[in-house]
Structure 1
Amino acid sequence: MIDIHHHLLYGLDDGPADIETSLAMIDMAAKDGITHIVCTPHANARWAFNPEVSRQKIGELESRIKSKVTLGLGCDFHLSYDNIEDALRNRDKYTINGKQYLLVEFADLAIPANISDSFYEMLVAGLQPIITHPERNFTIQKHPERMKDWLRGGCLVQLTAASLTGRFGRTAQAMATQFLERDWVHFLATDAHNVQSRPPILREAYAIVAKRFGRETAERLCVENPRAAFYGEELPPQPEAQGIETKDEAKGRPRRGLLGRLFSN
């Protein structure tokens, strides 16, 4: 399995405080069957993202783990004005391994009404937004229909594995299940921060998805799609997201989401 959202790098954010904890997280992930980890320190107003420092820490870890797992670099990208403007100017700075996939995180309590315009600008610039853990976001829990336009426009979605096991509460668990039922999900990831309360465990969620939605779905969300994101490749064919059509589309008129506008210009 491949984990594309993982706060592995010590001393950079609210993840591990020391290298020994980072090494323990790698060991736990490897035992769980995770072969690749994208290290994703926060990029927000509290924790500035420094790619060079992050790469240095990855090098220190790689020298200690003897190829136990393959490490890559991305970030947990907060959707602030300054971040978005910087990402548009420096496309490869924040993305997974300097390719096109970008993990994007909403603020907990408010999502700007014009965020679809920002996603459109990212897509035009060659960035592929992956919306992280929407099932845990308070605004989306109250208004899950807001996801529809972003999905129509070409955004991808990543759920937190522990949401499916109930670690983040019943609401997040129910929302995660609902998104899976509608084929709104493209990735499962751990969003690990430590080995206790936020461990790097993916296998349990894989098993839940395999039992309810089939092994093929579990493989797509935990192996195939994450591998494509890790190496900057196009995703394999995906199931069509259910229930995201506009009223016009439901009447048989052409779809005009973000990508529809993009390719019609």
Structure 2
Amino acid sequence: MIDIHSHVLHGLDDGPASLEQSLELARLAVQEGISTIVATPHHRKGSYCNPAQTVETAVSLFQEQLLRHQIPLTICSGQEIHTHPQWLEDFYGNQLLTLNGSSYILIEFPSSKLPERVEEILHELSIRNLTAVIAHPERNKEIAEQPDKLLKLVEYGALAQVTSHSITGYFGPQVRSVALELCRRNLVHFIASDAHDAVRRPFHLQRAYGIVNEKLGGDYVKYYQHNAESLLNDRSFEIWRPVPKVRKSLFFTQLPSFFRRNRSL
């Protein structure tokens, strides 16, 4: 498996505090069947500032440690870029990283609302031949309350990545329900771990795929895994058509339960 969003590098953000903790997390990844991880430390979120050169150096040093400890895991460079007013300055100053040098770039919204002029940000990225991958939209309050706002961003050209822990229920039943609903409506294009440590927030990628397989079917699992591989190799891939929200009519809700397909999660 490929994990396109993780905080596996130590000492850069709220991920592992030490090299040993990073190595422990890497061993867990291998045990789970993950072969490649894109390291995406926070950039411009609060006090976390990890420009391109810092991340690339950390990835190189950590890859050396993985080889030394005989951990068969490949680490690629990336960032989780918090939307901020100076992002264009960072871009022109070569401070931003795409995911594994591809045309896909991971961006993070505030948890409470969408950033102002978000369409403008997506446009600025698109004219630079970059595709925005929105990190964990299911944990954004505005999107959770109005999923059609994510639909508009996807129609504008953005992609979305749901966190494995959202699907497994770590963030609570409401976030889990939103995550699965976004998946069902084809508004999600990747599942990634957003792993931070080996105890509280490990990968749980295999477990999340299992839940998706159970709730939505194997085609969704294949779709997400294929997309992750395509991203890693900077290839385009088919984007499933988003499904509009269907409002049940009064007639439908009054049908006997055995005539209705159970869509509960």
Q: CA deviation at 1:109?
A: 2.0
**CA, structure 1 residues 138+21, in 2 after alignment: closer, same or farther (shift >3 Å)?**
same
Which stretch shifts more, 36-45 or 111-120? 111-120
2:83–2:115 CA contact under 8 A, matched in 1: no
- The aligned residue for residue 105 of structure 1 is 108
**CA, structure 1 residues 212+181, in 2 after alignment: closer, same or farther (shift >3 Å)?**
same
Indicate the structure (1 or 2) with the bigger Cα radius of gyration: 2
Q: Secondary structure at the match of 2:105?
A: strand
Gaps of 5+ in 1: 245-265
1:84–1:118 CA contact under 8 A, matched in 2: no
- The aligned residue for residue 40 of structure 1 is 40
C-alpha distance in 1 between matches for 2:55 and 2:36: 16
- Which of these residues, 68, 72, 78, is aligned with residue 76 of structure 2? 72
| Aligned AA (2:114) | I
Which stretch shifts more, 58-67 or 22-31? 58-67
TM-score by length of 2: 0.86
Q: Secondary structure at the match of 1:29?
A: helix
2:161–2:188 CA contact under 8 A, matched in 1: yes
- The aligned residue for residue 216 of structure 1 is 219
- The aligned residue for residue 151 of structure 2 is 148
C-alpha distance in 1 between matches for 2:48 and 2:126: 25
C-alpha distance in 1 between matches for 2:241 and 2:115: 27
Q: Are positions 1:121 and 2:113 aligned together?
A: no
1:8–1:39 CA contact under 8 A, matched in 2: yes
Higher relative contact order (CA 8 A, sep 6+): 1
Which stretch shifts more, 124-133 or 66-75? 66-75
Q: CA deviation at 1:110?
A: 2.8
2:9–2:15 CA contact under 8 A, matched in 1: yes
- The aligned residue for residue 51 of structure 1 is 52
Compute the RMSD of aligned alpha carbons.
1.7
| Aligned AA (1:69) | L
Q: Secondary structure at the match of 2:13?
A: coil
TM-score by length of 1: 0.86
Q: Are positions 1:171 and 2:174 aligned together?
A: yes
C-alpha distance in 1 between matches for 2:244 and 2:120: 22
Gaps of 5+ in 2: 246-265
C-alpha distance in 2 between matches for 1:129 and 1:111: 14
C-alpha distance in 1 between matches for 2:90 and 2:62: 28
Q: CA deviation at 1:85?
A: 4.1
1:91–1:125 CA contact under 8 A, matched in 2: no
C-alpha distance in 1 between matches for 2:233 and 2:139: 27
What is the 5 A alignment of 1:18-33?
18-33=18-33
Q: CA deviation at 1:91?
A: 6.9
Q: CA deviation at 1:243?
A: 1.4
Q: Secondary structure at the match of 1:81?
A: coil
| Aligned AA (1:109) | S
Q: Secondary structure at the match of 1:9?
A: coil
**CA, structure 1 residues 91+119, in 2 after alignment: closer, same or farther (shift >3 Å)?**
farther
